[in-house]
Amino acid sequence: MSTSYWPIKGYGIEIDIKLFNPEKVCALLEAELAEGESAEDVYDTCMFEDFLNTLLTDTALNWNSTEQLLYDNHYYIHLPALLPWQMSSHEKNLSPADTERIIMDTIRPYLADDVDENEIVKGIDEVAIAGCG
């Protein structure tokens, strides 16, 4: 068995599954619930990863996780650090404030009601960590 490592580098934030409202996530994914089943019953890591894939489609943002090698998986939404020739002209001109706005505009509709948006914005910063699995 081998271990892989990958960089998670850019400007963004570490996020947690608990930041999001399960009903809003299920609605975005058009998840069908069985009789008597609630959104909280089906909201899990697999659904969360599907949610992130769907949420970030058609944005400049990516998501990555540190995986589960140490059973301590962390998720990040970030604008990846790219070389200049890998960026669009729009991405080259994004400031940190622009990136914060993009992140918040993207996640805001799905946040749980008790989440303080100001705390999320405070957490947006440079991301530089490695994933392994």
Consecutive H or E run containing 79: strand 75-80
Q: pLDDT value at position 118?
A: 94
**Which tens digits make up the pLDDT trace of 104-132?**
999 999 999 999 999 999 999 998 877 77
- Per DSSP, the residues of 37-56 read --HHHH--HHHHHHHHHHHT
The residue among 74, 75, 92 whose CA lies nearest residue 83 is: 92
The residue among 32, 68, 57 whose CA lies nearest residue 47 is: 32
β-strand partners of 62: 78
Q: What is the rounded distance in angstroms from the CA atom of residue 7 to the CA atom of residue 59?
A: 20
Q: According to DSSP H, which parts of 13-95 are helical? A: 22-29, 39-42, 45-55, 89-92
Q: pLDDT value at position 20?
A: 94
Q: pLDDT value at position 2?
A: 75
Looking at residue 133, the DSSP 8-state letter turns out to be -
Beta-strand ranges (E) seen in 1-133 are: 5-15, 62-65, 75-80, 125-132
Q: Which residue has the higher pLDDT, 22 or 69?
A: 22
Q: pLDDT value at position 108?
A: 96
Q: How confident is the model at residue 31 (pLDDT cuts 50, 70, 90)?
A: confident
What is this structure's pTM?
Answer: 0.84
Average pLDDT over residues 24-34: 85
Name the phi and psi angles at 30, rounded to 5. Answer: 55, 40
